[in-house]
Structure 1
Amino acid sequence: MNLIHVKASLLPSPHSLFVFEAAARHLNFATASRELNVTQPSVSHSIKSLEKHCGAVLFVRENRGVQLTEAGRVLYHGVRASFTRMEDSFRAISPEATQYLTLAASTSVAAHWLMPKLYQLQHDHPNLKIKVVTTDRDVEPDSEIDMTIWIRDQTFQRPNTWFICDEVVFPVCSPAYLSNQAPVNGVADLCEHYLLHSFDPHRKRLGWGEWFDLVGAGAVQALPNMVLNDYQLVMQGALSGLLSDGIFQLSCCFKTSFL
């Protein structure tokens, strides 16, 4: 981290900077005094103190007002830019600043399930600002994330969580794959085909063995030919002509957790 240290002796009082900015903006001490709700002599005194601190004349006094000197213009541009940055910072953290509803989910859930629904959500709530954060692991709601979507068993219980929908898992493949492979007349035939599997190190995914057991095929030993740790890659593999156990509808057993 690069840090800039400025000697305190180089900086004048904040009050004198506010007075200088108003006087330089209006080019009139009287107008600046009315804006700041102080007397004109007070403005003149602050400007003289600032000039003494800087060691430079900042204004040329004229009968109908003042003009900035070259030193005054340089200082005004710096002060105005600093004030603008401060104003932007205060605006960003103010209660009236734009607030986003931040949702966290896996890449596959965000791409295939969440994104298609966000269009309708924003259509129904046009003033709602949404931020989507994809993550490779389940995260807890915190000061940065309002809602997180998890895949859990239906028996999962926790305060401030809501069931969204069930998970529907079934094998998928491209028509091109079936046209060049032996026909699939039953679940048992899948064991003879090229199998893809999505492995997630941080989330439990249904494997081929579990799937065969759930559909009533019994304890089938079906090791996948290829294991990928990204669901998008698995789906792309299936589209490219391989067979995948996929959450094709992505209507999963999601649990949402809110801050």
Structure 2
Amino acid sequence: MMTNLPPLSAIRAFEAACRHLSFTKAGDELGLTQAAVSYQIKLLEEKLGFPVFVRKTRRIELTGKGAQLAEGVVEAFTRMRQTFQDVQEAEAAELVISSNTTFAVNWLASRMFSFQMQNPDIAVRLVSYGPWEKPKFDEADITISACYQPPAGNFCIPLVEAAFTPMVAPQLAESIGGISCPEDLLKLPIIDPDDPWWLTWFEAAGLPDVDLKKWPTSRMGSQALEANRAIAGQGVAILTPYFCRQALETGQLIQPFDLVCKAEDEAWSLSYPSQNRSSRKVRLFRDWVVAELKRDGLNTNEALKTTAS
């Protein structure tokens, strides 16, 4: 009893020759010469111990045992081809995007319909990861992250700088007679006082020794959540103006000071594994994001950068 399969190259040649009943046509399909196909069939027959084809002038015929093998082998290859096609079509039709909460809620959620209208053949699955979760760069076609660097070898495009400044609901500001100087902020509850952005901003505003310990710790870990608390009048939040444009335009929030600080080496970025570089769906989404940011006036660096190894 044969425990090992014959060489796959010989089985592949046999399957093609069975369908075409021609070594020449089988070779054309496989990118081989007629002699190479004939050699593979000979190897198969030696492995099996019996002939699978009868060679006649200008044509071949399957032997009885060859026909028996052909039925199962051709069916198996047909099923394999269909399986690969089904998986490829499904993969090509679905774009999986992993995004941190801030970008997912404050940017993607309100714009995704535009991308889908432009690309109706692509089904988008958005998977947002929580404030204290690390992005799983290997489980999505595209990952949008802020505080975590993509793995070495990924392609990466910086999207939005990590800029920040205090914001507050106008009614809360009015409750203390308005905000005219940075010290006035300390009269109000501070949202997420342990956020290091607060100390950076106060120092830049001329208050290097500000004490925020009197406020209870309540790290939200997401600007989307912090902004909602600020809009609800629960305190002053330190936020990125770009992600709060709508709240600022509608008057839900105000930005008391022009001073905006930037976090060194921090930015929201879009990244994907190198094997996705030629993917149509990845390319379309990447270019759409860059175009949307340009419409907003952001100077996005379109140059793909490979993260260092």
> What TM-score, normalized to structure 2?
0.45
Q: Label 1:226 to 1:66 Cα distance change in 2 as closer, same or farther (>3 A).
A: same
Q: Give 1:184's match in structure 2, choosing from 167, 176, 179.
A: 176
Write the distance in 2 (CA, Å) between the matches of 1:198 and 1:17.
Answer: 68
The one-character-per-residue Cα deviations of 1:159-210 (angstroms, maximum 9, x if unpaired) are xxxxxxx54432247x6xx5xx99231346654544321756xxx4225x95
Q: Give 1:169's match in structure 2, choosing from 166, 170, 179.
A: 166
The one-character-per-residue Cα deviations of 1:205-233 (angstroms, maximum 9, x if unpaired) are 225x95498287x9465733342242233
Aligned to 1:53: 47
Q: Look up the SS of the partner of 1:169 in the other structure.
A: strand
Write the distance in 1 (CA, Å) between the matches of 2:85 and 2:114.
Answer: 35
Structure 2 residue 225 is matched with structure 1 residue 225: no
The one-character-per-residue Cα deviations of 1:95-133 (angstroms, maximum 9, x if unpaired) are xxx9xxxx9985425643577789989999xxxxxx642
Structure 2 residue 112 is matched with structure 1 residue 112: no
Task: In structure 2, give the amino acid aligned to 1:185.
Answer: G
Aligned length: 216
Aligned to 1:21: 15
CA RMSD of aligned residues (A): 5.7
User: Taking every aligned residue pair, what percent have the same amino acid on both sides?
Assistant: 18
Q: Look up the SS of the partner of 2:71 in the other structure.
A: helix
Q: Label 1:42 to 1:20 Cα distance change in 2 as closer, same or farther (>3 A).
A: same
Write the distance in 2 (CA, Å) between the matches of 1:219 and 1:199.
Answer: 12
Write the distance in 2 (CA, Å) between the matches of 1:46 and 1:79.
Answer: 17
Q: Look up the SS of the partner of 2:191 in the other structure.
A: strand
Structure 2 residue 229 is matched with structure 1 residue 237: yes
Aligned to 2:4: 10
Write the distance in 2 (CA, Å) between the matches of 1:242 and 1:136.
Answer: 26
Q: Label 1:120 to 1:211 Cα distance change in 2 as closer, same or farther (>3 A).
A: farther
Larger RCO (CA under 8 A, 6+ residues apart): 2
The one-character-per-residue Cα deviations of 1:37-66 (angstroms, maximum 9, x if unpaired) are 544x87556435424424677669998855
User: Which protein has the larger Cα radius of gyration, Structure 1 or Structure 2?
Assistant: 1
Write the distance in 2 (CA, Å) between the matches of 1:57 and 1:242.
Answer: 85
Unaligned 5+ segments in structure 1 are: 1-6, 92-97, 125-130, 153-165
Looking at secondary structure, tell me which structure has more helix per residue. Answer: 2
Q: Give 1:145's match in structure 2, choosing from 147, 155, 172.
A: 155
Write the distance in 2 (CA, Å) between the matches of 1:114 and 1:198.
Answer: 27
Aligned to 1:134: 144
> What TM-score, normalized to structure 1?
0.51
Write the distance in 2 (CA, Å) between the matches of 1:139 and 1:76.
Answer: 48
Q: Give 2:190's match in structure 1, choosing from 192, 195, 209.
A: 195
Structure 1 stretch displaced more, 218-227 or 58-67: 58-67
Task: In structure 2, give the amino acid aligned to 1:143.
Answer: G
Unaligned 5+ segments in structure 2 are: 119-140, 245-259, 270-303
Structure 2 residue 216 is matched with structure 1 residue 205: no
